[in-house]
Structure 1
Amino acid sequence: MSRLIFILLDGLRYDVALSSMGFLNHLIEADKAALYLVKAELPTLSRPGYATLFSGTNSSIHEITTNTYLKPSPVPSLFHLAREKNLRTAAAAYSWISELYNRAPFNPLTEREQENEENPIQFGRFYFEDSYPCTHLFADAESLRKKYDPHLLLIHPMSIDFKGHLYGGDSKEYQQEVMFVDSLLASLIPVWCREGYHIIITSDHGMDEKGMHGGNTLKERQVPLFTITPLIEAGYYRHEIPQTAIAPLAARMMQLENVMPLPFKTWPGWQEEKIVAFKKAR
């Protein structure tokens, strides 16, 4: 069964990813990666965005419309699909991910480290402060990867979003953090590629110049989707694709299409010929 590393860079805008992520853009120029422009679903908030990214549905279906939603997701996720196939799942992620897919509310005293093979996310390292350094987060993820060899590994740093809220999406500090995360990926992606992983890198929402998100502006809605996989031809793809396409794409990469429930099929492009061959619509 194929293995996937899903990297969710919270708060990353498309235009800043295009201009400031030198390593990832190098991979595209070297014909080793692809970049798509994704239109994030409304509202452009984190918890609704997470639910969309891992279910392939929008807020009118998964019914998670605010960041104050404190119950497990009511619709199946990639983690649930993987567990149905007895695949191993892991996440180094913000505590809201644990609340959506393992247990809510999150208890920071007892649930920072989770190891329960009955959970949708079996092995977790969950942080609960937005300022948690991305260096620590990637170290958490590598520890999980090496120890448990998961088929689905989520890596979810908050540092880009944190700097955006502090200084604004047009600030030097926001751009510097994007560049720093790109440099961390430069040290890890070659290792993951040698070991045969499919890789998805995307975001839940963007960030406006004032450090806000939740609305309908381009800076809040346009986010990147980088893919590093033999299933997709390398290159820059300028046409806009829906955020609901990402979960079905991830399921295809993991060969989970035969357990894909109805919510994953709500976007008509979920079929293999349209997911794998996005290049036809350039």
Structure 2
Amino acid sequence: MSNNRLIMIVIDALRFDTACSHMGFMQHLVEQGKAARYEVKSEVPSLSRPLYETILTGTPPLVHGIVGNGIVRLSTQESLFHLAKRSGKTTAAAAYYWVSELYNHAPFRHDIDRIQLDKDAPIENGLFYFEDHYPDSHLFAEAQWLVSEKNPDFLYIHPMNVDDDGHKFTADSVQYRNRVLATDTLLALTLPKWMDLGYDIIVTADHGMTVDGNHGGNTTNDRHVPLFIASKKVKPIVQHQIVSQLQMAPLACHLLGIHPSEAMVPLLIPGLVD
């Protein structure tokens, strides 16, 4: 039985094709019947801040209004953090500071907002970094601390090193591919422990990365990202139907056992267990 607890991991700028070719541990979970794999088409513009908001609220940029990375304000939508808290669940995040600016405080105050432990905030337990090269290994260690010490019902984890290396070296580089391998290793070291604790797992990305070392456009490389789901509520098979990114938030609500917001689209993702 599901414990209605969820860890959502959004790996910034992870392309679908590179995830399939270089994430050996995640594919192992699929082959062993422990996870499902999907291909997701992101919203556009395929930029980070707009798509953080899309993933966490289930609304497109034209609705939520975060249409570029330079828009710094709190979200006007009901996010997964708000909905989980309203349902009596505890929330946490180990993430880039833009997530804090969307849901806890904007603008980010670098001197005091890195560690946020506030039961009245949408993200009750937040550990936020503000440099793109901040090591993913440190971030996953912080996520493990949140699991061990705060025992959240909903934990959001957002590593940035894949995006950072993609911008520095392009998606067609040894560095980008090796970074995806390194991220897969971090998942191998952490996911089994979290799954043993009863957490459902979502691993996805906000957008992809091009051979020009950028993103924001309408190409497959810009928009197509992976989705891995480890949950008894989802059949553990490879799904070949492309899924809209607007499905991520209602999917998370389904796994958490909470009601979605009225702004979210109906949950139509294939492979759900009745």
Q: TM-score normalized by structure 2?
A: 0.97
Deviation readout 1:25-77 (Å, 9 max, x if unpaired): 01101111111000000000000000000011101111110001111011110
C-alpha separation between the residues in 2 aligned to 1:156 and 1:28? 22
> Given residue 115 of structure 2, which amino acid in structure 1 is its aligned partner?
E
Counterpart residue number, 1:168: 170
Does the CA-based 8 Å contact 1:237-1:279 persist in structure 2? no
C-alpha separation between the residues in 1 aligned to 2:27 and 2:36? 9
TM-superposed CA distance for 1:86, in Å, is 2.1
Counterpart residue number, 2:262: 262
Counterpart residue number, 1:92: 94
Does the CA-based 8 Å contact 2:12-2:162 persist in structure 1? yes
Q: 1:184-263 counterparts in 2 under 5 A?
A: 184-257=186-259, 260-263=260-263
Deviation readout 1:68-126 (Å, 9 max, x if unpaired): 11110111100000111121100000000000000100011101000110100001110
Does the CA-based 8 Å contact 2:8-2:155 persist in structure 1? yes
The sequence identity of aligned pairs, in percent, is 44
3-state SS in 1 of match to 2:213 = coil
> Given residue 8 of structure 1, which amino acid in structure 2 is its aligned partner?
V
C-alpha separation between the residues in 2 aligned to 1:63 and 1:154? 22
Q: 1:73-112 counterparts in 2 under 5 A?
A: 73-112=75-114
TM-superposed CA distance for 1:278, in Å, is 5.0
TM-superposed CA distance for 1:235, in Å, is 1.3
Deviation readout 1:151-175 (Å, 9 max, x if unpaired): 0001111000000000001111000
C-alpha separation between the residues in 1 aligned to 2:124 and 2:166? 31
Counterpart residue number, 1:121: 123
> Given residue 232 of structure 2, which amino acid in structure 1 is its aligned partner?
P
3-state SS in 1 of match to 2:214 = coil
C-alpha separation between the residues in 1 aligned to 2:251 and 2:261? 14
Deviation readout 1:172-201 (Å, 9 max, x if unpaired): 100000000101111111111111100000
Give 5+ residue unaligned stretches, structure 2: none
Runs of 4+ residues deviating >2 angstroms:
274-280
C-alpha separation between the residues in 2 aligned to 1:175 and 1:10? 14
Aligned residues: 272
Give 5+ residue unaligned stretches, structure 1: none
Q: Give the alignment's Cα RMSD to 1 decimal.
A: 1.3
> Given residue 261 of structure 1, which amino acid in structure 2 is its aligned partner?
S
Deviation readout 1:116-140 (Å, 9 max, x if unpaired): 1010000111000000000000011
C-alpha separation between the residues in 1 aligned to 2:71 and 2:223? 21
C-alpha separation between the residues in 1 aligned to 2:273 and 2:157? 27
TM-superposed CA distance for 1:10, in Å, is 0.4
3-state SS in 2 of match to 1:131 = coil
Correspondence 1:277 to 2:271: yes
